[in-house]
Every structure is written in structure tokens, then in C-alpha cells.
């Protein structure tokens, strides 16, 4: 009896322990930071773990899509996620699993991949939330759902389509266009972005600026008050402008009319992903990628709502919190509830705009950039629920006694600040007029004393080049891409060097000006600098060649309306009204046929070379071409008895636009600029850019140094600065081995040992290392190529092509069927 009772007690205890273990909840999210924040809210009954992003994807060295069997994808667990999956499997074995990845298609796909990789049942709980707060998480736990297969399929369709385009099209580019340091590649959205930038550059190149004369007048009202006015029209001809000034000699000027009108300014809606990227670029000088990185950290810390959204909607709870904050801080008169309707057809109104999770929190982070972005988001969201700004605009019409023409003066005064007390939206328009100030007191009939009148030559402006922000705006307007794709698209075209982002100096030009003062007209010629660029996107010669090849041969791939229609198809798949396999088939059948045709067609060599004329000295042909190290000018042909001469193009020069005179200038390099320490300073351009050679050593010129104009003093300064850096680079050397040194690197101190770079353990004083310490580090750390500071080197640019980076978190889910081999395989590593 005692044994039997003891047995029953053990069994009961076992069942209890098992129940307690099974009652443990495992919540899986994408990032460790997000996991930490969520675990703080959910309490001891929940364990929150991170998958560290995607856990499965299409294979890296194989297409992974069986085009003969309904485009069935084959997925594999990423090599760096094998241990993560093993750990999650152990935890999931005796727990109830909650998949809590982001609330969008990509997050849905990650949840589906986790379900498949962990062998979870189809009814595994899926929870979604748009902000990481205790209330939002509790609501999500109370309303779980299962994985939305339609959202998964939409993401799968995007992934598969992009893989097909990359794997089918990139080899055609390699075969037909053999240029650049790496094999070329093409992507569906990225290639369209490059086309937009290339076409804008050609618009600018074809633009003919036209001059005209603008009339401005300044009237002295006494007591230090001045009235500024202008003629509403410009004069095209200088003679007409001069004639007008002559009419005004001795004329009487008076106020003919005063018109006062009320006006108002209305606040912009809260941020979507694209408008946040645009405004952070304009106000904070953030790149698009930086904006998303900082916003991600704020979201994961529970400070803002989800940052990938195309909705301008705010929840009722958020609206109430905003009202409380506005009334408390500014007063009831500053509050005005607004419901914004999202312009994007694909926007999900159930989602929210980007906003603070708590409007009472003014400090979102101790990190400077996080706080700056948080403050921007807070101000925009609060301002969207504030009253209009009330203005008063005054227009004064000024009569001239000697002509029927009239001058106009305009002013503006704020009568009630409204939302302007908090926030004013910026603009990309480089031609924005200056803010109009308040006019001085005026009366109808009042005579005015002319201080001076000017006729100044002004020129029409070419269309502006794109910034990252304005490119995002353009893509959104055209319906190309979605909130999750803008940043990776721009990062990709920059990384491939199809486009460069840089500053460029302006060009000096003359302009004419005529000034009427004291009844006399004086004419003069002034100078101004125009066309300077700040952080603008410029196409490279490689980008233009690839774009032209795609436009000529695969117009459908880079067609704007087609790309936008594909995005709509993804939306239809997501809402369950279109089968993803049918959508892929509709695209792939004509695309694959065109691939076959282009492979057989002869390549148009005019895309990669252009004749400029003849060399005046030798009479040989001069041409501009593009090769392994970029665009260059060539004198002569390979068939000539004398070897051809080559010269690389300078920064900012394009194969498409360089002129014969500019090409001839390039052959003035190498040029000897002077002497330093009794040794010649020789400037030239190499495969890595402009440099100066001195005493057998090479020193790179800075970005702003023109190799054709750089001076002796500047070159000496470059050499001396480099020597200072080099002298501070060495921390310690070892007598036992001259190939062992402790050095200062870009990312901090490290050990250079033989041909390896070794990390120095944290807490170790670099200068205290002995040679035995170095040998120990070398034995402990695996032997692999490394860069400065012990970080793994990137593959050389001339190496085999790397796989195209997919947009962040953009993996393609597969169906529950067993993994299938791809029917079509590309054995050579390819780019997407």
C-alpha cells in the first residue's frame, strides 16, 4: 500500500511538473532588442527568443525555383541560423509557441519559415502588434490568429520573381557587356530606379538654360523701414529691361491699392515610411538606410509604432493621447482632430502611421540620432492634430507715373500659430521662394521714395538631380516598390556602383545687371556660382550602359507601368484574389522567350564605345570606351603597329558626354607638378583614382583634388599629412619578428601578424602585448583573410559576383511540401 501510494504521488508530481513545463510560453520575434523589450512586458510565464532575422531562404548558389513544376521554391536553412533553429526547436518542444514577427508581408513570411523549420503545426498561434507596449502586447495575446497564407504567398511571389529575373538576366549581361570590376547584375526594382536617375541626367544634359531680366525695386520709407517690390513679369531681352529702367527715371511711385486677405496653413499628415525617409533626409541629413536603422531601434525599444507603413491613419487611442498632450501643453484652441485619408491604394488602413507610443514622452533616447528622429516623429504626429495656422497676406500695388506697368509688394503675417508652434514641413523644391515677411505700414496714395531699381539677369534652372529622399518620393508616386523596399533598393544601386551619391562643386558664370539710382543707370557684369550639388545621385558610365542595354532589349523589365502593375499584383495575391503561381507564369513565359532571343542576337558595341575624333598629333582615332576598371579614352587601335595610349576619365566625366577637347586633356597626365625634398611630384590617375607619386611611394588625392590643377603646395600637404597618420599608426613592434606589429586601424587597435590581422581581446592594453601574446592570439584565432582591426575582408571587387542583397527581411516562403530540387540550375554563382 505504501509503495502504491508513493508510486501514485510520483506520477501525480510528474504530471504536474509536465503541465508546468508545457504551460511555458515561447514567443519568437526577429531581433534580440525587440525580444528584450517584449519580455519585460510579458512577465515570467513567457520566454521571448529571437530568430535573428530570416532563418531560411532560396539557396545561394542555385536558382532554387522549379519552373517546370509551378515555380515551386526550394528553401534551405541559412548556415548561420542552424544553431538558432536547433535552440528554438529545443525550447519549442515543451512550450506553447507564439510567432510574433513584424506585422507585414515580410514578417508573415518569417513566421511561416519558422513554422516550417521548427516543425510546428498549422494552427500555431500568430500574434501581431504595431507598437511594443504592454497594452498592445496584451491585446495581441488575447486575439491570436494563424499564419495568413495569402500574405506569405505575396512575399513568396516577390522573392521568386526577383530570383528569376536575377538568375536569368544577369548571365546575359555578363556575356554581352564585359565591363566593370565585377560581373554585372540586374534587379527588377533596382534597374527601374537606375533608369529614373539616368533619364534625369540626360534631361539635364539636354537642357538649355535661358536668361531673362528680373526687375526689383527698393523704396526708402524713412526711419530705417524699406519696402521691397518687383515687376510681376521678366524681360527676355536686355534692351527691353533697359527701356523699362529708362522710363522710371524721374517717375513718381505711389501705392495704388492695398489688398488684405486671410489665409491658412494646414499641417501635414503623420509620417508614412516614405515621408519619414524624405523629411529625415531634408531636416536631419540622414540617408534613407540610416533613417530605417534608427527607426528600427526606436521601434524595438517600444518608443514608436511600426516604421514600415504606407498608412496615415492614427488609432482612436492615439488620437485621444494626442488631444490630451496638445490641450495640456498648448491649450484647447490649438487642438483640431483630423482623420487623414491615405493616398496609396495599397495602404492598409488597419495599420497606423508612424507615431510615438506615448505622446507624453518627449525624450525617446539618450542616443543623439535616435532622439533627433524621435523628436521629428513626435512633432509631426502632434502637429497633425493641431489647429490650422491663421495668416494675413497683404499685396500692395505700386503705380509708376511714366508707364502703365505696376510693381507689386507682398507680405505675410501669422495671426495665430496653430500647428506652426510645433512643426513645419520641409520641401525638396530647390526653387522655393524665400519666406515673405511683414510689410511696413502703408496707405493708398502714399508716395514712395525710390532707393534703387535693378534689372538682374536670371537663368532658368534644369530639372534637379535626385536625392535619396526625392527618389523615394518619385518611386512612391509611380507605384514602384513598397515601404520595405525603398531603402534596400537605393543601397543596392549604390553598392553596385551603377549610381554614386556625392557633392559636386558649382560652375562660375557671368550675369548682367543694370541699376537705376539717383536717376542714373549703371550697367555691370557680375559673377555667380551655379549648379553646386549636395548629396545628389549621379549615374555612372557603367550604370548608363547597363540601363541602355536593358531598355533596348528588355524594355518590359524596366518599364515604369509594368513595374507598378507587378506591385499591384502582389497586393492582389496578399488579399487572396490572385494565385501567385499564375502571376509568375504570366511574367516568366514571355520573359524567358526574350532571354533566349537576346542570347542569340549580336551585341550593339556602340553601347560600350564611342568615337570622339582624331588625335591632332598622330592622326589616330580617339575613342572613349568602358572596361574592367571603368571608362577610359584610347588613342589608336589594338591593330596599330604602335601600342594604343590610354587615359582614365576623371570623376564626374561620363563616357556619353565627354568631348574631344576634354579627352585630349587627359593625356597630359602623368604631369610633374614640382619638387619636394629634391624629388619630383608626379600626378597621375590609376585604377583606384588620382594619386601623386613621390620617391617610390604613392599618395591618394582627396575627392575634391583635381589632378589637372592640383598645386605643389597641396601635394606636399597631402604627403605630410599621410606621414603623420603613418607615424601614429604603429603602436608597437617586436624585435623577434618584423612582420608582427600592433597597429591602429580604422576600427581600433589590432595585431598584424605575418599576413593575418588579429583581434585584441577586450580589456587588453595594446601596448602591453608581448610577442608570446601575439603567438597565442594567432593560435587561438582561426586563420582567414582579415581586414584592418581584425575584421573579415570583403571579397575583392574583381572576384566572382556576389549574390544580390535582398531587401532587408525579404525572404521567400515555400509551401509545406518537401524540399524539391530546382528544375533549372545555374551552377555558376550568380547575382540576383
Residues with catalytic function: 306
Gap between the Cα atoms of 618 and 614, Å rounded: 8
Phi, psi of 4 (to 5 degrees): -60, -45
Phi, psi of 812 (to 5 degrees): -105, 120
Gap between the Cα atoms of 54 and 114, Å rounded: 9
Phi, psi of 111 (to 5 degrees): -60, -40
Residues 6 or more apart in contact with residue 186 via CB below 8 angstroms: 165, 166, 169, 170, 173, 546, 550, 557
Nearest to 225 by CA among 439, 444, 515: 439
CB 381 within 8 A of CB 359: yes
Distances (CA, A) of 440 to 221, 400, 593, 702: 9, 20, 72, 50
Sign of the C-alpha dihedral computed for residues 184, 189, 193 and 196 taken in this order: positive
Residues, the chain, total?
A: 832
Angle at 790 between CA 784 and CA 791, to 5 degrees: 80
Rg of the Cα atoms in the chain = 33
Gap between the Cα atoms of 575 and 350, Å rounded: 14
CA atoms within 13 A on the CB side of 139: 9
Distances (CA, A) of 769 to 12, 741, 773, 780, 790: 61, 10, 6, 15, 16
Q: Could you write out the three-class secondary structure of 259-297?
A: EEEEEEECCCCCECHHHHHHHHHHHHCCCHHHHHHHHHH
Using DSSP, state whether 40 is helix, strand or coil: helix
CB 503 within 8 A of CB 467: no
Using DSSP, state whether 512 is helix, strand or coil: strand
Gap between the Cα atoms of 829 and 800, Å rounded: 7
Could you tell me the three cell numbers for 42? 510579458
CB 712 within 8 A of CB 676: yes
CB 771 within 8 A of CB 742: no
CB 790 within 8 A of CB 759: yes
DSSP 164-214: HHHHHHHHHHHHH---SSS-----HHHHHHHHHHHHHHHHHHH----EEEE
Amino acid at each position: 500500500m505504501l509503495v502504491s501510494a508513493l508510486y501514485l504521488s510520483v506520477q501525480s508530481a510528474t504530471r504536474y511538473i509536465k503541465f508546468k513545463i508545457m504551460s511555458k510560453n515561447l514567443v519568437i520575434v526577429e531581433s534580440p532588442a525587440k525580444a528584450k523589450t517584449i519580455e519585460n512586458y510579458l512577465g515570467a510565464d513567457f520566454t521571448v527568443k529571437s530568430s535573428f532575422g530570416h532563418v531560411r531562404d532560396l539557396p545561394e548558389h542555385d536558382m532554387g525555383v522549379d519552373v517546370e513544376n509551378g515555380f515551386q521554391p526550394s528553401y534551405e536553412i541559412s548556415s548561420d541560423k542552424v544553431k538558432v533553429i536547433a535552440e528554438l526547436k529545443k525550447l519549442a518542444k515543451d512550450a506553447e509557441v507564439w510567432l510574433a514577427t513584424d506585422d507585414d508581408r515580410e514578417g508573415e513570411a518569417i513566421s511561416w519559415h519558422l513554422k516550417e523549420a521548427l516543425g510546428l503545426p498549422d494552427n500555431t498561434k500568430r500574434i501581431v502588434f504595431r507598437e511594443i507596449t504592454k497594452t498592445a502586447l496584451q491585446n495581441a495575446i488575447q486575439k491570436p490568429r494563424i499564419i495568413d497564407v495569402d500574405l506569405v504567398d505575396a512575399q513568396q511571389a516577390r522573392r521568386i520573381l526577383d530570383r528569376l529575373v536575377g538568375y536569368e538576366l544577369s548571365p546575359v549581361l555578363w556575356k554581352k557587356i564585359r565591363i566593370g570590376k565585377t560581373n554585372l547584375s540586374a534587379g527588377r526594382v533596382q534597374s527601374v530606379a537606375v533608369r529614373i536617375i539616368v533619364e534625369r541626367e540626360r534631361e539635364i544634359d539636354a537642357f538649355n538654360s535661358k536668361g531673362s531680366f528680373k526687375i526689383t525695386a527698393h523704396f526708402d520709407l524713412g526711419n530705417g523701414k524699406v519696402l521691397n517690390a518687383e515687376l510681376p513679369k521678366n524681360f527676355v531681352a536686355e534692351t527691353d529691361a533697359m527701356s523699362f529702367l529708362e522710363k522710371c527715371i524721374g517717375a513718381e511711385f505711389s501705392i495704388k491699392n492695398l489688398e488684405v486677405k486671410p489665409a491658412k496653413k494646414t499641417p501635414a499628415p503623420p509620417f508614412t515610411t516614405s515621408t519619414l525617409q524624405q523629411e529625415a533626409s531634408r531636416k536631419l541629413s540622414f540617408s534613407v538606410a540610416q533613417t530605417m536603422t534608427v527607426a528600427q531601434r526606436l521601434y524595438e525599444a517600444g518608443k514608436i509604432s511600426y516604421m514600415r507603413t504606407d498608412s496615415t491613419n492614427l488609432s482612436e487611442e492615439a488620437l485621444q493621447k494626442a488631444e490630451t498632450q496638445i490641450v495640456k501643453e498648448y491649450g484647447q484652441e490649438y487642438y483640431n482632430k483630423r482623420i487623414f485619408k491615405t493616398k496609396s491604394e495599397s495602404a492598409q488602413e488597419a495599420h497606423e502611421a508612424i507615431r510615438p507610443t506615448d505622446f507624453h514622452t518627449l525624450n525617446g533616447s539618450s542616443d543623439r540620432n535616435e532622439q533627433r528622429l524621435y523628436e521629428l516623429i513626435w512633432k509631426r504626429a502632434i502637429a497633425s492634430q493641431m489647429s490650422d495656422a491663421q495668416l494675413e497676406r497683404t499685396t500692395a500695388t505700386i503705380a509708376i507715373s511714366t508707364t502703365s506697368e505696376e510693381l507689386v509688394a507682398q507680405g505675410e503675417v501669422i495671426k495665430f500659430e496653430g500647428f506652426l508652434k510645433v512643426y513645419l514641413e520641409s520641401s525638396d523644391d530647390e526653387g522655393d521662394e524665400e519666406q515673405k515677411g511683414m510689410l511696413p505700414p502703408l496707405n493708398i496714395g502714399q508716395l514712395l521714395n525710390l532707393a534703387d531699381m535693378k534689372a538682374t539677369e536670371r537663368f532658368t534652372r534644369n530639372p534637379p538631380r535626385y536625392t535619396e529622399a526625392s527618389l523615394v518620393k518619385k518611386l512612391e508616386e509611380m507605384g514602384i516598390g513598397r515601404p520595405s523596399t525603398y531603402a534596400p533598393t537605393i543601397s543596392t544601386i549604390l553598392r553596385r556602383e551603377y549610381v554614386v551619391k556625392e557633392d559636386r562643386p558649382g560652375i562660375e558664370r557671368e550675369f548682367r545687371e543694370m541699376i537705376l539710382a539717383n536717376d542714373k543707370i549703371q550697367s555691370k557684369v557680375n559673377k555667380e556660382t551655379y549648379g553646386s550639388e549636395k548629396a545628389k545621385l549621379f549615374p555612372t558610365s557603367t550604370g548608363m550602359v547597363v540601363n541602355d542595354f536593358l531598355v533596348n532589349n528588355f524594355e518590359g523589365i524596366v518599364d515604369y507601368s509594368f513595374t507598378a502593375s507587378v506591385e499591384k499584383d502582389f497586393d492582389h495575391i496578399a488579399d487572396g484574389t490572385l494565385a501567385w503561381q499564375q502571376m509568375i507564369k504570366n511574367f516568366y513565359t514571355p520573359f524567358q522567350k526574350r532571354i533566349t532571343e537576346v542570347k542569340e542576337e549580336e551585341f550593339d558595341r556602340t553601347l560600350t564605345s564611342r568615337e570622339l575624333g582624331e588625335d591632332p598629333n598622330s592622326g589616330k582615332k580617339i575613342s572613349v570606351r568602358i572596361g574592367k576598371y571603368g571608362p577610359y579614352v584610347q588613342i589608336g587601335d589594338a591593330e596599330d603597329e604602335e601600342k594604343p595610349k590610354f587615359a582614365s576619365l576623371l570623376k564626374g566625366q561620363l563616357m556619353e558626354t565627354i568631348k574631344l577637347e576634354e579627352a585630349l586633356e587627359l593625356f597630359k597626365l602623368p604631369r610633374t607638378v614640382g619638387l619636394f625634398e629634391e624629388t619630383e611630384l608626379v600626378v597621375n590617375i590609376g585604377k583606384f583614382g588620382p594619386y601623386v607619386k613621390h620617391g617610390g611611394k604613392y599618395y591618394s588625392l582627396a575627392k575634391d583634388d583635381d589632378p589637372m590643377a592640383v598645386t605643389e603646395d597641396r601635394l606636399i600637404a597631402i604627403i605630410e599629412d599621410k606621414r603623420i597618420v603613418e607615424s601614429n599608426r604603429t603602436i608597437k613592434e617586436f624585435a623577434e619578428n618584423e612582420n608582427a606589429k600592433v597597429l591602429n586601424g580604422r576600427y581600433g587597435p589590432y595585431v598584424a601578424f605575418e599576413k593575418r590581422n588579429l583581434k585584441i581581446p577586450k580589456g587588453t592594453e595594446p601596448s602591453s602585448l608581448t610577442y608570446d601574446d601575439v603567438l597565442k592570439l594567432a593560435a587561438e584565432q582561426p586563420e582567414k583573410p582579415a581586414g584592418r582591426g581584425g575584421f573579415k575582408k570583403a571579397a575583392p571587387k574583381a572576384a566572382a559576383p556576389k549574390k544580390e542583397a535582398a531587401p532587408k527581411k525579404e525572404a521567400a516562403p515555400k509551401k509545406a511540401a518537401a524540399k524539391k530540387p530546382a528544375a533549372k540550375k545555374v551552377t555558376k554563382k550568380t547575382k540576383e
